[in-house]
Amino acid sequence: KAGVTQTPRYLIKTRGQQVTLSCSPISGHRSVSWYQQTPGQGLQFLFEYFSETQRNKGNFPGRFSGRQFSNSRSEMNVSTLELGDSALYLCASSLSRDRGPDTQYFGPGTRLTVL
């Protein structure tokens, strides 16, 4: 079974621009979560989508948004980019069972550089 895929893998933008990142989950997985990883803050949770609805949200400004499509694919958008948004953005998918924890499987990430 194919793993989580993320596109693009690398991206360079300038301050003030916006960016859209894409994530395709493992087939059959219904939940998609996004994380940001920076050297200073480590790995931080952005948000989780399930059945096209945001189910959980981390402590990030409104410039960070996302959505999920009916096929479970997800996109995240960052508007008005700042230098501090330079990071590795990771997507993780899971089955999202009704009981018990669901194991999240990560994609390779998108490396965003803001100049």
Partner 1 sequence: DAKTTQPPSMDCAEGRAANLPCNHSTISGNEYVYWYRQIHSQGPQYIIHGLKNNETNEMASLIITEDRKSSTLILPHATLRDTAVYYCIVRVPEKGTSYGKLTFGQGTILTVHP
What does the binding site for partner 1 look like in residue numbers (CB under 8 A)? 4, 31, 33, 35, 42-45, 48, 50, 55-56, 58, 88, 90, 92, 94, 96-98, 100-109, 111
Q: What gap in Å lies between CA 19 and CA 39, rounded to an integer?
A: 21
**Residue placing its CB nearer to partner 1 in the complex, 18 or 27:** 27
Residue 89 C-beta: closest distance to partner 1, Å: 10
**Residue placing its CB nearer to partner 1 in the complex, 20 or 95:** 95
**Residue placing its CB nearer to partner 1 in the complex, 67 or 108:** 108
The residues, ordered by sequence, that sit 6+ positions from 43 with a Cβ below 8 Å of its Cβ are 35, 36, 37, 90
Residue 103 C-beta: closest distance to partner 1, Å: 6
Instruction: Let me know: does 68 contact 50? Beta carbons within 8 Å.
Output: yes
